[in-house]
């Protein structure tokens, strides 16, 4: 993104933040500019690109679709000046809007590989009202999980496309019955250079094709984790700041 800019004396930091209920309906772009404003309020010495319209050197891992909450949003920020982790966290903390919490933060020694390129898997939790028996759920999931191939028809205003979903599923879709007539499912989805699938699409397919007895319109989707090469994006960080 920063092209051929020479290495400056600055630093990099990676943060794990959330997108909570209050921000559920904000687009990824709006979420990104909201974080930029928070960073400016925090008076962190962010690095900017050169030119007429300087951009903050801030990048995100994987765009979250509107309507999905998350406890695993990652962002990399380039700083013009190195600051201790605790100080960055302390400055950010009071200026985060409702719906963003800072879960972890780590100063990186070198310019990191782009987050986008690192991420290859996302784990989601889907909570949805049950409208049948749990046995029905288990039967539906068993046959989905056992299927070799499963084609979903993705319709956008512009075009209709067929995508094979199984190639993107990592492990089984699991489900647990919760109080209040709710079903809680977890699924791990692969993010590949060739594409991916959305948890809502998996849910839609489970309902249409496998007769999963739930009300998909009332589902709430939550991202639990993002992984790169099987590791959480901040897991190996020493001195992670817990706030």
Partner 1 sequence: MVPLTPDLLQAVTKPARYTGNEWNMSRKRHEDVACTFALSMPDVYEVGMSNLGLKILYEILNRREDTAAERVYAPWIDMEAEMRKRRLPLFSLETRTPIREFDFLGFSLQYEMIYTNVLNMLDLAEIPAYAVERDEDAPFVVGGGPCVYNVEPVADFFDLFVIGEGEEVLGELVAAFVRWKNEGRPKGRAGFLRRAAGISGVYVPSFYTPRYIDGDFAGMEPLGEDVPTVVYKRVVRDMDEAETMENPVVPYIGIVHDRIMLELFRGCSRGCRFCQAGMAYRPVRERSTKRLRALAREMADATGYDEMSLTSLSSADYSCLDGLVDNLMEDFAEDKVSFSLPSLRIDSFSIGLADRMQQVRKSGLTFAPEAGTQRMRDVINKGVTEEDLMNAVSAAFRKGWKSVKLYFMLGLPTETDEDIIGVARLAKKVVDRYQEITGKRGAKVTISVSCFVPKAFTPFQWSAQNTLEEFERKQRLLKENIHDRSIQFNYHDARVSRLEGVLARGDRRLSTVIYEAWKRGARFDGWTDQFHEEYWLGAFEALGVDRAYYNERERRRDEAFPWEHTSPGVSRAFLRTEWDRAVKGELTPDCRRGRCTGCAVCPTIGARVIDGGART
d(CA 213, CA 123): 22
Q: Shortest distance, CB of residue 51 to partner 1, whole angstroms? A: 10
Is residue 38 at the binding interface for partner 1, with CB under 8 A as the rule?
yes
User: By CB under 8 A, what part of segment 71-130 binds partner 1?
Assistant: 95, 97-99
Smaller CB distance to partner 1: residue 20 or 240? 20
Which of 82, 89, 39 has its CA nearest to residue 60?
Answer: 39
Q: Are 177 and 196 in contact (CB under 8 A)?
A: no
Strand partners, 58: 77
Provide the minimum distance between the beta carbon of 166 and partner 1 in the complex, in angstroms, as a whole number. Answer: 27
Q: Which of residues 147-176 bind partner 1 (CB under 8 A)?
A: none
Binds partner 1 (CB under 8 A): choice among 3, 4, 53, 160: 53
Q: CB 14: neighbour CB atoms within 10 A?
A: 21
Confirm or reject binding of residue 220 to partner 1 (CB under 8 A): yes
Q: Is 211 in the site for partner 1 (CB under 8 A)?
A: no
Gap between the Cα atoms of 182 and 129, Å rounded: 4
Query: Which of 5, 67, 134, 208 is close enough to bind partner 1 by CB under 8 A?
Result: 67
CA 121, CA 232: separation in Å to the nearest integer? 10
Select the span of 46-54, 57-65, 150-158, 182-190 touching partner 1 (CB under 8 A).
Answer: 46-54
Contact 197, 189 (CB under 8 A): yes
Q: Is 8 in the site for partner 1 (CB under 8 A)?
A: no
Q: Indicate which single residue of 41, 154, 170, 198 sits in contact with partner 1 (rule: CB under 8 A).
A: 41
> Of these, 5, 40, 81, 87, which contacts partner 1 (CB under 8 A)?
40
The single residue among 1, 5, 30, 171 that binds partner 1, judged by CB under 8 A, is 30
Q: Smallest distance from the beta carbon of 199 to partner 1, in angstroms?
A: 14
Task: Count residues near partner 1 (CB under 8 A).
Answer: 29
Q: Residue 22 interacts with partner 1 (CB under 8 A)?
A: yes
CA dist., res. 231 & res. 208, Å (int): 33
* 36 touches partner 1 by CB under 8 A: yes
> Which residue's CB is nearer to partner 1, number 151 or number 218?
218
- Residue 38 CB, nearest distance to partner 1 (Å)? 6
CB atoms within 10 A of CB 214: 25
């Amino acid at each position: 993104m920063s092209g051929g800019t020479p290495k400056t004396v600055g630093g990099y930091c990676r943060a794990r933040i959330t997108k909570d209920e209050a921000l559920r309906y904000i687009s990824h772009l709006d979420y990104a500019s909201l974080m930029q404003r928070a960073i400016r309020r925090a008076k962190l010495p962010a690095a900017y690109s050169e030119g007429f319209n300087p951009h903050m050197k801030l990048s995100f891992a994987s765009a979250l679709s509107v309507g999905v909450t998350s406890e695993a949003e990652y962002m990399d920020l380039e700083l013009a000046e190195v600051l201790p982790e605790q100080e960055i966290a302390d400055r950010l903390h009071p200026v985060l809007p409702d719906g963003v919490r800072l879960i972890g933060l780590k100063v990186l020694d070198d310019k990191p590989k782009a987050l986008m390129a690192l991420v290859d898997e996302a784990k989601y939790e889907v909570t949805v009202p049950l409208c049948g028996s749990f046995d029905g759920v288990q039967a539906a999931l068993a046959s989905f999980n056992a299927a070799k191939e499963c084609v979903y028809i993705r319709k956008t205003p512009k075009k209709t496309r067929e995508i094979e979903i199984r190639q993107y599923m990592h492990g089984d879709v699991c489900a647990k019955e919760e109080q209040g007539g709710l079903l809680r499912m977890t699924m791990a989805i692969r993010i590949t250079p060739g594409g991916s699938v959305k948890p809502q699409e998996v849910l839609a397919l489970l309902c249409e094709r496998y007769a999963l007895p739930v009300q998909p319109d009332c589902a709430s989707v939550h991202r639990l984790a993002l992984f790169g090469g099987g590791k959480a994006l901040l897991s190996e960080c020493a001195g992670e700041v817990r706030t």
